[in-house]
Chain A
Amino acid sequence: MRRSLFFLVIGLSILLISPSLSLSCPVCFGALDDPATAGMKYAILTLLGVTGTVFAGFISFFLRLRKHSRSSENTGGES
């Protein structure tokens, strides 16, 4: 376990030290006017919107649970 962790740390360090491996690809880095960059932006925003909506659903569900739990406590466990 320790041995594999050691090799993992060494491998990650090499990746970070070597600039050619750790730099972003030209689509995201240094090509701001490229249509692919603009497309990527819109795609990320779309996916963030969907993820945000699903997360909002989960949060509202947990809030609903808390509300139910509190109302249950106030009525002495009767529901």
Chain B
Amino acid sequence: MNMEIPYSVYDRPDTGMNNARLGMWLFLASEAMLFGGLISAYVFLRTGTASDQFGPRISEIPLAGFNTLVLLASSFAITLSVWSLREQAFRRHRALFGASILLGALFVVIKWLDYSQKFSQGLHPSTTTFLATYFTLTGVHALHVLGGLVVNAYLWLAAPRLLKSEPDRLLSRVSAASLYWNFVDAVWIVLFVLLYIL
């Protein structure tokens, strides 16, 4: 029996949004709690332990700053791609969505280089408390970026087929993916401020 999930594409009149978007918001609420718990643990360890026990803050602001700009650009590109799709400018949408994916991949590559550099210098999560929290927070975030990249790449590949068969469904999916991507970007900005600036 083939059963259609109601309001998965078109907006519900009572909530003013479709269920895909509503589901994504609920998912993001749970994600906010996950990162909230981890950040709270970081704040506890940072303010509750003596600086010599916590360990020096080994973080390179120029590299992380560049990475922040890369992720911000990626987020900007995916938002523009959703607007392009709404305006039925499919080619522009595909180019911007592709650019967003590439920038996201660049973010992961830079993070990988940062990790490799630290490991080669003998800096591991077990070295200091700061590094333990640093690798946990940035690692969990990087996994979220990777997950988002997989979904975005799937949507990018499936877009031409979906555009022919179900264009409204494509818009709904890309819109939900964009919401997730912007959330991941916002979390990174919080982590950047906490780990590198404060």
Contact = CB atoms under 8 A, between A and B. Distances in A.
B147 interface: no
Interface residues of A, number: 25
Contact of B36 (A36, A47, A64): A47
Nearest to A39: B48
Interface residues of B, number: 22
Interface in B37-95: 37, 39-41, 43-50
A64 B13 CA distance: 12
A50 B41 contact: no
Contact of B39 (A39, A40, A50): A50
Nearest to A35: B48
B107 to A, nearest CB: 24
Given A35-B47, A72-B13, A43 B40 contact: yes
Contacts of A47: 36-37, 40
B4 interface: no
Contacts of A44: 40
